[in-house]
Structure 1
């Protein structure tokens, strides 16, 4: 419980320090890696630029050993200095417990909200279907990173590791720039 309060305090401090920053988000890359091809694999994982103002990313993870009843996710936000270095957040959450009570951790809820409306990962465990994240637009992410929670300019990596039954099964890395 103290850990959640510490994260919330960090978030409030961060908002206070950087509240006047106006930025624009630009996706630069996405990499999806299955670490256990017998358990899961990515059917697709890509960025798409429809025109100069409409860009999005999508991914589909095929699950081969369903239903999945125990899921943890490690989320880290890294900023590029001389290589990518930890920036503000690096935590692991029991996804099944979190999805039962989204109010249990507001920081995790912020990151979950980045793709919630574009995903079929919006229910509690078990997961008995392939996982989709479809057309997360640059406009939506831009609003989240400039209005909801402003971040300073720079190159970032949103790194997530997906564990099922305490085994790391997949990694999804989204690279972006705030300018």
Structure 2
């Protein structure tokens, strides 16, 4: 394990000791989807649906116009908001995590990246991103009906104080960014 990973692990353990969180409840605030290469992917839908006062869900689907064969990278960055305006890029700052992930390699060994493992556990059973590379026969990539209540159960005990957060993601193939998807949420009761 590298020194950066040891430092991050130490920081996380220290934060967990400082902030005793028995239950974290999040509420999704928004999801944005953008295809930056319309020759490869298009956005079919990207939506946040309110189910009740305390329950909502996210669903999105990108139509694949070309197969994803190799060199698939995902960039994940967990952010926190500095001011009240939720979608202004300059109001967000990094919150502990930033990961560049070789997706095909990750699928072979899920244990080499904690943030990626957590994110993919959130969408487990809600996505067709569940097999190894290449993606040659898929007509779309989707994440459907992920509820805030499910995610809240899965992050139980993760040290996140009340506030506004975002998970910024970029998918790339052949070193070209193909999609940008951002998930906005609020921790309402640690």
How high is the TM-score relative to the length of structure 2? 0.86
- Return the alpha-carbon distance in structure 2 between the equivalents of residues 161 and 5 of structure 1: 26
1:124 counterpart residue number? 132
- Return the alpha-carbon distance in structure 2 between the equivalents of residues 15 and 110 of structure 1: 16
SS of residue paired to 1:118? coil
How high is the TM-score relative to the length of structure 1? 0.91
- Return the alpha-carbon distance in structure 2 between the equivalents of residues 89 and 22 of structure 1: 21
2:153 counterpart residue number? 143
List gaps (5 residues or longer) in structure 2: 84-90
List gaps (5 residues or longer) in structure 1: none
SS of residue paired to 2:52? coil
The structure-2 alpha-carbon separation of the partners of 1:62 and 1:10, relative to structure 1 and needing over 3 Å to count, comes to farther
- Return the alpha-carbon distance in structure 2 between the equivalents of residues 150 and 38 of structure 1: 40
Q: Which moved more, 1:82-91 or 1:152-161?
A: 82-91
Are 2:119 and 1:111 equivalent residues in the alignment? yes
The structure-2 alpha-carbon separation of the partners of 1:9 and 1:37, relative to structure 1 and needing over 3 Å to count, comes to same
1:78 counterpart residue number? 79
- Return the alpha-carbon distance in structure 1 between the equivalents of residues 96 and 68 of structure 2: 34
2:43 counterpart residue number? 42
Q: Show CA shifts across 1:64-102 (max 9, x none).
A: 111422210010011011411111101101010000111
1:118 Cα offset (Å): 1.2
Counterpart pick for 1:165 among 170, 174, 177: 174
The structure-2 alpha-carbon separation of the partners of 1:43 and 1:78, relative to structure 1 and needing over 3 Å to count, comes to same
1:120 Cα offset (Å): 1.0
The structure-2 alpha-carbon separation of the partners of 1:67 and 1:177, relative to structure 1 and needing over 3 Å to count, comes to closer
Matched residue pairs, number?
Answer: 178
1:115 Cα offset (Å): 1.2
The structure-2 alpha-carbon separation of the partners of 1:67 and 1:25, relative to structure 1 and needing over 3 Å to count, comes to closer
The structure-2 alpha-carbon separation of the partners of 1:163 and 1:7, relative to structure 1 and needing over 3 Å to count, comes to farther
Are 2:90 and 1:89 equivalent residues in the alignment? no
1:123 Cα offset (Å): 1.3
1:14 Cα offset (Å): 3.0
- Return the alpha-carbon distance in structure 2 between the equivalents of residues 106 and 159 of structure 1: 16
1:32 Cα offset (Å): 0.3
